[in-house]
Amino acid sequence: MQIKRMLFGVICLSVVIAIGIKYGRSFSAHQEHKYTQAITSAHSPLIPLAIIGGGPAGYSAGLYGARQKVHTVVFEGARPGGQLMETSYVDNWPGNPHTLGKDIMDKVRAQAVLFGAVMVPLTIKSINTRTWPFELETHEGDKLYALSVVIATGATPKLLDVPGVKTYWGRGITTCAICDAPFYKDKDVIVVGGGDAAVEEALQLVGYAKSITICVRGSAVRPSAASFVERFNKEYSSIHMLYNTNIKQILGDDAHVQKVVLETNGVKDVRDIDGVFFAIGHKPNTDWIAPDMLKLHKDGFIDIDSHSQSWGSQSTSVHGVFAAGDVADNRYRQAGVASGDGIKAVLDALSFLREISFESTGKETFFVPKSRVLGELLPVTSHEVLSQKLKARDSGIVIVEFYTDACPTCVRMVKVVQQTLGEFKDQAIGLKVHAIKSADISRTYAIAKAPTVLIFKNGSEMARITDLMSQQDFNALIKGLL
């Protein structure tokens, strides 16, 4: 009996060790982590507290970290501000009723910067949790070392996997009514989804589209959206509900969406349509995390449930790495909750830094981003001026961004283009066109989404971008065309 118990104990210990190895940690190894001068000498540049992601969770974490006088770096990634930047008015942010999502995020970011948080417009490509300090690699190929990490990379809207979606993305298919509603004035559109997001998309379209059909896969919308449907019936004759309906295919003329194939209660129907807006949920942004670096749930969300009692409520499977916001939350998915999670995550991270006896010696080489020179986008309002600019740069690159006033993503893409122009200042020029006010130019170039960036070389269109692109990817695209 005693031998059996010993054998059972050995097996259990082996399982525990194997799990620890799989998720990049030894249960005893982190007890040995101590901050020493040897650590700083071998790992440079060093980041005591790295925040990966710049939405409500990331900015809130940055604010609290910097306020504790810890060198805090926020890697804002490709979508600074997160999903809130692409919403209209927010009524449930505490203390700020009926405020634009962009304004909320701008204020939180500014407050974090005020306390000393370092904002970096870089995207983290990978994290290595098998070493400590943790190794971070940017898309530019730089390697950085972090004593503690908070992952707040959020989530991105889902698209349906049906024929036509990839072909017509940005050509009649979108996920942002606040950005693209003006393109659909007096047109017929479909909104796909049955929750709050679908309702908000429809409300954004009311002032523009001739008719809006909300296609709901089930027999009813979610309870939180039910009151809005009642409001639709009373106030908005242009909004129509279609239940038990699935999109089977999206058709067009290669330039733009023209028809959609629907299936309602098993019966197929082909409808003429001008635009399709998806509002069917989000997927967590965890593709950049290797499977053996952190424990993820099967749906891709970071697991913070298994270790919350030991290391804090936002702890991941690796001690010293924490997660907050929609990247780890598949239940609440609210900006206010994400902000609170970011605060909890950074408090957990600060506790970890105390545990390893972190205290700046003044001799470390902390990471500081490189200063960047920004280029300028010249406004263009007529066909004639645009043609002249293209002809004048027959031997070079011309970057043209089409934007709208109510498009937060356009503002972020402008910054990307400006930084690229600064880097390639003698080889490219930048122009910007208001896609609605200069509708004739938009029609000529089949612009149906904001932002849209066209890249010309020798007068010919070489590339078309219909979504936000990371700084690194955009630079690489331009470099490849030179």
Catalytic site residues?
176, 179-180
Beta-strand pair 188-192/211-215? parallel
Buried-exposed string 70-81: b where 16+ CB fall within 10 A, e elsewhere? bbbbbbbbbbbb
Give whole-number Cα distances, 55 to 19, 176, 341, 347, in Å.
Answer: 32, 17, 12, 17
| DSSP conformational letter for 296 | B
The helix (H) or strand (E) run that includes residue 246 is strand 245-252
Pairing outcome for strands 124-128 and 257-264: unpaired
- Dihedral over alpha carbons 80, 83, 86, 87 (to 10 degrees): -140
Q: Which of 291, 262, 293, 287 is nearest to 276 (CA)?
A: 262
* Chain Cα centroid distance, residue 308: 26
Give the 3-state secondary structure percentages of the chain, helix then strand then coil, rounded to 5. Answer: 35, 25, 40
Catalogue the E-assigned strands of 294-373.
321-323
Distance CA(253)–CA(480), nearest Å, equals 30
The maximal CA–CA distance of the chain, rounded, in angstroms, is 92
Q: How far apart are CA 19 and CA 360, in angstroms?
A: 34
- Is there a contact between 452 and 465 (Cβ–Cβ < 8 Å)? yes
User: Contacts by 259-264 with C-beta closer than 8 Å and gap 24+?
Assistant: 260/190, 262/215
CA 151/CA 50 separation, integer angstroms: 8
Residue 302, strand partner residues: 296
Strand order across the beta sheet in which 397-403 lies: 377-379, 428-434, 397-403, 452-457, 460-465
